[in-house]
Structure 1
């Protein structure tokens, strides 16, 4: 199945400091592409993979689960660790949850993390019915393009496959239990007006991680996909400043490849 235009993975070979970026549930690398390119332009080695089942059609996602999505980012992280002296992990929404699990599992091999509107729980009464309902109803309405900025669209599915949503719910419960294992320096950016992930999720993450070096930033002008919204440049600038503070030397520019 061909990848949707704009949803292709992105990689840039830069210096000795690497960054892995993790996109969200039913989304694609397009939501983080400007962030990835910003970091690449500043000489960093960047990896922005396309998660399995994403970026094509929702039917492809219906046969994948959290184990597939996590395995992809774990593989990409290990690849960066082989090439780079320091590696950071950034993520949006479910990508934030993937980031937190990578931090919990890889320990000191991850130098720091940045999460934007991190997902922590599947909310609503329907969440408890997912184990049964997913066998009766294939999809529900999509969650893509929650963006305040006019004229900006996220490349994502207009339907959510309920088998995948059930798997996401299991994954978020797993990650919640592992949050105390997260000790890395971190920046948490969140939008008060988020129609996909409520602010309580960020509060829960902040209350459970063991990190002592934590910076919390409120994104007043943006909705859920803040990386494509009014506060995007602030996210990019803050994340780069975070890397500069923790990485003594940021290498020279390399080459770029999409796809």
Structure 2
């Protein structure tokens, strides 16, 4: 049974929607959420459909379901804020990009943390780097019960944090640590999403903050270059020196919080707030 582990932190009239990664959990966004909330933001750490339960729960869903849950979360947060920012980790960054492409008038800025279009980091074995072929493989009926297992260092350079999160994951607590492997059908869905988002990049005019570890063990800097060269809007890039893939929990998480807060506040302080048409008419007659 899937346990709801999403969280909502009320704050000011600028809000941040946080999206975790594939097989992940909102818990991996909680450090950043608390920091953003301390800095005055309303924060919603949403839970992707099919996540935080069993592998079977995940396999019942695909990228359309994950994206629908993002849209529903955005609708909820948008009711409480004047400016909405969307930040995602790994696959969560792709879902954030897609939301900005589809709803440009609703998303004021993006935080793209460890953006992953391809699993091509230094811990990924050669066969794992061929996983972009999984949409074809699974469509032919192969690999339904196969998966790629998570491996050391599990995206985390900080040994204390790694021991805690990896321990939860390996002990089967998916709500706290996520799943210990990526099922092939779910990875195929991820690559279908990746292909679609790459085709939409040029339409995105939303300002982007791209934060990525130089030594990312899961997604190489090639993924950063795809964003920087692909999107149509302004991009600010931050490369971290002492972290691995899970930058929202790793050793430089405070830098992620600080740079994100500064980036989002700058946009909120310089962007016009669109009033509903009826409210504008009332204001004009008073």
TM-score (norm 2): 0.81
For 1:1-259, what aligned pairs fall within 5 Å after superposition? 1-3=1-3, 8-121=5-118, 124-133=129-138, 135-143=142-150, 145-153=154-162, 154=165, 155-212=177-234, 214-248=235-269
Deviation at residue 183 of structure 1 after TM alignment = 0.7
The 2-side partners of 1:75 and 1:129 are apart by 28
The 2-side partners of 1:165 and 1:129 are apart by 7
| CA spacing shift, 1:136–1:120, aligned 2, 3 Å | closer
Deviation at residue 74 of structure 1 after TM alignment = 0.9
Higher relative contact order (CA 8 A, sep 6+): 1
Deviation at residue 122 of structure 1 after TM alignment = 5.0
Give unmatched runs, 5+ long, in structure 1: 250-259
Give the secondary structure class of the aligned counterpart of 2:241.
coil
Residue by residue over 1:168-227, the C-alpha shift from the partner in whole angstroms, topping out at 9 and shown as x without a partner, is: 110100000000111111110111211211211111111100013x21111110000011
- Higher mean alpha-carbon deviation, 128-137 vs 174-183, is at 128-137
Residue by residue over 1:6-57, the C-alpha shift from the partner in whole angstroms, topping out at 9 and shown as x without a partner, is: x811111222111101100111111111111111222321111111111122
The 1-side partners of 2:136 and 2:266 are apart by 45
Give the secondary structure class of the aligned counterpart of 2:18.
strand
The 1-side partners of 2:182 and 2:228 are apart by 28
Give the secondary structure class of the aligned counterpart of 2:242.
coil
The 1-side partners of 2:191 and 2:143 are apart by 18
Give the secondary structure class of the aligned counterpart of 2:79.
helix
Larger radius of gyration: 2
The 2-side partners of 1:75 and 1:126 are apart by 30
RMSD of aligned Cα (Å):
1.8
The 1-side partners of 2:194 and 2:81 are apart by 29
Residue by residue over 1:101-136, the C-alpha shift from the partner in whole angstroms, topping out at 9 and shown as x without a partner, is: 111111132111111111123552243145335633
| CA spacing shift, 1:178–1:143, aligned 2, 3 Å | farther
Judge conservation of contact 1:59–1:161 (CA < 8 Å) in 2: no
Judge conservation of contact 2:24–2:52 (CA < 8 Å) in 1: yes
